[in-house]
Amino acid sequence: MSAIRRNSGCRITDEIRYKGLKAIIMENELLKVFILVDKGTDIIELLYKPKDIDFMWKSPKTFKEGDIDRKDFLESYLGGWQEIIPNGGSPCIYKGASLGLHDETSMVSWDYDILEDSQFKIIVKFYTKLAKVPLSIEKVLSLSSNSSVLSIEEKVMNNGNEVLDFMWGHHPCFGSPFLSSECVINFNAKEILSNPGSISSFPLVMSGASGKLKAFPGKNGEMIDLSKVLDKNAKVADLLYAKGLNENWFSVTNIGKKVGIGYVFDPKVFRYLYLWMVYGGGDNYPWYSNTYSLAVEPWSSYPGLGLLECIKNSTALKISPGEVKSAWLKTVVYEKENDVEKIDNTSSVH
C-alpha cells in the first residue's frame, strides 16, 4: 500500500531506493527516519530537524548500487541502527545452522504494511521470516505529529516444532557531528563488565574487569570515567556489558550542542546494555583506525560472543513451538543543557 503524498505533518515516502535497496522514510515536523526495508529495516538516518543533526554513525566505506552483501554483516554495514535476532556477535553453529556475525534479521529483506497514514500519525508494520531458524518477526513503528519520540512494538514467533534459543538486541550506533568529546553517557546499572578479550590493539580498559560507569579499571589499573565520550584522536576501542540494570533507559547527551538522544525499553526482554566504544581505535579490517562511533545497545543476553555463549550462561531467551514473545522500545530526541537524570516509560526526559 503506497503512502498518501503530503509535504507537512506526518508523512511516509515509500517509493524510493537507496544503493539499489527498497527504502521508506517516516517523518514529522521534528524527526526524519530513513529505513532500509530490503536490508534488516536498518535505520540509517535519524535526523532531528530543528538542529539538522543526524544521530546515526555512517560507515566510511563507499557503497555503490549492488555492493550490499546481505550474507556478511561487516561487508554490508552502512552504519545506523540494526535489530539483531537470533545471534549477537561471534559466528556459531546452532542446531546445525551456521549463524554469522549479527545474523540474521539484520541481513534479510522485510515486507511492510502502512497501517495509518494521516497528518497526525503514521504507523508502519514490518515483518519477515528467517531462513536459518523458524522464527518470524513483526515490528510496528509509529510517529505522531510534533513528537520527537519514535515508538516500536514487536513480536517474535516460533513457527517450528522445537524449543529455540535466541538473542534479541538493538544496535544503534551514534556518530559525528552529534558524537564528540562534549557527549556524556548515562544509565543506571549495578555493574559493568569488560569483554574477556580486547576487540582492539588499542584498549582503554582492562579486559575481563568489573566496575561502574564512572569508575572502571583502565588498562594500566587507573580508574576511568566511561560516561565521558573521548575525542576521535584518543585512538582506543572497547566492548563492555552493563548488567543488573536498575532502570530501563539510557541517554547520550551532547552538552555543547544542547541536544541528546535517549532510549527506554522493555525491561522484561532487554536486560543488558552493550557499550561498543570506537574512539578512533578500531584497527585492522574493516575499519583500519578510521572510525569514530559509539553504540549503546539494549540486549536480552550477554556477552556479545555468539548465541552458544549465552546459552551456556543461561541468558539466552527460549521460545516454545507456537509461542509469541513481545517487546517494546522507544527512542526520544531532546534539547537539554545538562545531563539526563531519568527517562520514564512515557519517554518523558527528566
pLDDT per residue as tens digits for the range 154-189: 999 999 999 999 999 999 999 999 999 999 999 999
Residue 223 counted as domain residue: yes
Q: What is the pLDDT of residues 283-292, one digit of tens each?
A: 999 889 999 9
Q: Write down the pLDDT at residue 264.
A: 98
Q: Grid coordinates in use for 274?
A: 552493550
When pLDDT is averaged across residues 72-94 and rounded to a whole number, the result is 94
The answer as to whether 26 is a domain residue is: yes
CA distance 75 to 96: 24
Please check whether residue 113 is in contact with residue 125, taking contact to mean a CB–CB distance below 8 angstroms.
yes
C-alpha cell at 335: 534539547
Within-domain flag for 238: yes
Sign of CA dihedral 176, 55, 329, 334: positive
Q: Is residue 349 part of a domain?
A: no
128 located within any domain: yes
User: What does the block give as the cell for 22?
Assistant: 527498497
Helical ranges in the chain per DSSP H: 307-312
Counted domains in the chain: 1
- Domain for residue 52, yes or no? yes
Buried-state track 102-111, b at ≥16 Cβ within 10 A, e below 16: bbbbbbbebe
- Residue 328 has what pLDDT? 98
Region of 297 on the Ramachandran plot (φ > 0 left; ψ -120 to 50 alpha; else beta): beta
pLDDT at 1 over 70: no
% of the chain surpassing 70 pLDDT: 98
In a domain? residue 50:
yes
Residue 276 has pLDDT above 80, yes or no: yes
Which domain range does residue 178 map to? 11-334
Inform me whether the pLDDT recorded for 69 exceeds 70: no
| Closest of 82, 94, 98 to residue 274, by C-alpha | 82
| Main-chain dihedrals φ then ψ at residue 62, nearest 5 degrees | -85, 125
Three-state secondary structure call for residue 227: coil
What pTM, to 2 d.p., does this model score?
0.96
Task: With respect to residue 317, please indicate whether it lies within any of the assigned structural domains.
Answer: yes
Query: Which domain CATH number covers 41?
Result: 2.70.98.10
Query: Given a cut of 90, is residue 62 above it in pLDDT?
Result: no
**More confidently predicted of 4 and 13:** 13
- Position 4 scores a pLDDT of 79
What CA–CA distance (Å, rounded) separates 189 from 168?
A: 19
What does pLDDT average to over the chain? 95
pLDDT for the residue numbered 10: 98
